[in-house]
Amino acid sequence: MGIEGRTIGVTDIGCNGNVINGIDIDVVHGNHGRAIAVGVGIKRVLPNTIVLAVQGDGGLAAIGASHWMNAMFRADKITCFFINNAGYGRTGGKWLPRH
């Protein structure tokens, strides 16, 4: 694909923070919910870099929702993978309904 050597992964410290470490690329870890904000900053400084952001449901759909919506509105050229573990997996499933 011709992307080797010019791809940077970005993740946050949420439950899916280690997912991207399985790919042989440089990785930056940001604060929880801020992977897209960090990725947009990298893309603006290094416009020819391919930026891959990976976030879980808590970091992307909750605390980081404003970041991905604004990146989408601005049409920032980054790729984001949304890992939906359906329950904030490592925080004890606090949003799952009680049975």
pLDDT tens digits, 19-53: 777 778 898 988 888 999 999 999 999 999 999 99
Torsion (CA) 56, 27, 34, 76 in degrees, nearest 10: -100
Residue 98 lies in a domain: no
The CATH number of whichever domain residue 45 belongs to comes to: 3.40.50.970
- Residue 89 is predicted with a pLDDT of 53
Q: What is the distance between the alpha carbons of residues 65 and 30, in angstroms, rounded to a whole number?
A: 15
- Average of per-residue pLDDT across 58-74: 88
Write out the residue range of the structural domain in which residue 37 sits.
7-87
